[in-house]
């Protein structure tokens, strides 16, 4: 009887632990999604695997889609597939930040976001644009820090829903607004914003000139725009097959129609009419390695992958989620290699000003 009691206690503890891990444990940074809630976003569960296969076929050769009109639709598909996994394992801010001594990942993320809005030199009550807002992690941090009214736009309807839910729970509905739309053709009037920012988002545009031109249009004269861009650095050599493999791996796993070179950014900004105030790679020393977070997450990946596989097998998670999770793991490896070799940075900052009228 005593042995039976011990086994029963252990069984209860085990089941309780599984329940906690699957149903209660939220994302690494801030609770939002649980493992049992993983989905394909706006894609119905039975179509997730098919959509993943379509996505992978489309982005297998990035050079084929550099000017493709279908890029926005496939970026939308990508974020349907990955949003829940990002929230579960990463948090509500889908971007990198430099490592800072003595600071947690959550703290460095917030500091990185606040630094972006500080470049805009706006006042409380100003109306600013978040071009490519995702589920709104940066938006909420920036609104709380600056007191500005932030209007975010994302192409993905599921992310709009998630962002609005998070805004409500954070008590920031009055400062944060989310619109579903394409930042290549935004539903905003000319000269209607006091500032704008984009954090690792415009890399999804087939042509950077198109999104910069739209942001220029909706800004008031004299207003500032800051962007953190994904680019290849001066160390990237297109004739080096290892470099090419790394960059194409990043492009395939992140829905990118082709990474731009670091020296293309300012040229594009000036072409649409901006004055370039500052340009800097925030990943360079003394900043700590932004990719360390990816390396530290390898154990968590295998733990999570086993769990996702089990949830898919028993029918809780849609078929295809396992494939998406595995794709993101391989992409993390390419990103790490890009950081370690110095040929890629996700935080090439450019600060621009729309000239006075």
Return the CATH number at 93: 3.40.50.150
Number of residues assigned to the chain: 357
The answer to whether residues 257 and 320 touch, using CB atoms and an 8 Å cutoff, is no
Domain tally for the chain? 1
> From the first residue on, what is the mean pLDDT of each consecutive set of 10 residues in the chain (357 residues)?
49 40 43 72 89 78 55 87 88 91 90 97 96 97 97 97 95 97 97 98 94 98 98 97 96 91 97 98 92 75 79 84 89 95 98 94
Distance CA(345)–CA(265), nearest Å, equals: 13
pTM equals 0.89
In a 13 Å sphere around the CA of 248, the CA atoms on its Cβ side amount to: 16
Q: Which of 273, 256, 278 is nearest to 331 (CA)?
A: 256
Eight-class DSSP state of 206: S
Measured in whole angstroms, the distance separating CA 116 from the mean position of its chain's CA atoms is 15
- Phi/psi at 76 (5° precision): -60, -45
Q: What is the pLDDT of residue 30?
A: 47
Exposed/middle/buried for 148, CB within 10 Å: 0-12, 13-18, 19+?
buried
The whole domain housing 105 covers 1-357
């Amino acid at each position: 009887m005593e042995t039976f009691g011990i086994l029963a206690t252990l069984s209860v503890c085990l089941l309780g632990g599984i329940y906690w891990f699957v149903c209660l444990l939220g994302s690494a940074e801030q609770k939002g999604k649980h493992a049992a809630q993983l989905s394909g976003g706006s894609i119905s569960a039975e179509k997730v695997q098919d959509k993943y296969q379509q996505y992978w076929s489309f982005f297998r050769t990035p050079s084929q889609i550099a000017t493709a009109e279908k890029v926005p639709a496939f970026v939308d598909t990508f974020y349907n597939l990955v949003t829940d996994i990002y929230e579960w394992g990463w948090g509500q801010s889908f971007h990198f930040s430099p490592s800072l001594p003595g600071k947690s990942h959550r703290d460095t993320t917030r500091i990185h976001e606040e630094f972006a809005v500080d470049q805009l030199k706006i006042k409380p009550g100003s109306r600013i644009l978040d071009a490519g807002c995702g589920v709104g992690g940066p938006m909420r941090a920036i609104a709380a820090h600056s007191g500005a009214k932030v209007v975010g736009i994302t192409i993905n309807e599921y992310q709009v829903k998630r962002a609005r839910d998070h805004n409500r729970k954070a008590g920031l509905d009055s400062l944060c607004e989310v619109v579903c739309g394409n930042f290549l053709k935004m539903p905003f009037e000319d000269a209607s914003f006091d500032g704008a920012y984009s954090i690792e988002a415009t890399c999804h545009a087939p042509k950077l000139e198109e999104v910069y031109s739209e942001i220029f249009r909706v800004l008031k004269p004299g207003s500032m725009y800051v962007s953190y861009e994904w680019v290849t650095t001066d160390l990237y050599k297109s004739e080096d097959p290892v470099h090419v493999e790394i960059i194409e791996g990043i492009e395939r796993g992140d829905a990118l129609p082709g990474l731009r070179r670091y020296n293309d950014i300012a040229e594009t900004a000036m072409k649409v009419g901006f004055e370039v105030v500052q340009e800097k790679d925030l990943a360079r020393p003394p900043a700590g390695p932004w990719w360390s977070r990816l390396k530290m997450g390898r154990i968590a990946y295998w733990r999570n992958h086993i769990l996702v596989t089990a949830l898919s097998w028993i029918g809780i998670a849609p078929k295809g989620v396992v494939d998406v999770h595995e794709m993101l793991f391989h992409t993390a490896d390419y990103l790490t290699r890009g950081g370690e070799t110095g040929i890629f940075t996700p935080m090439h900052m450019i600060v621009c000003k729309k000239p006075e009228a």
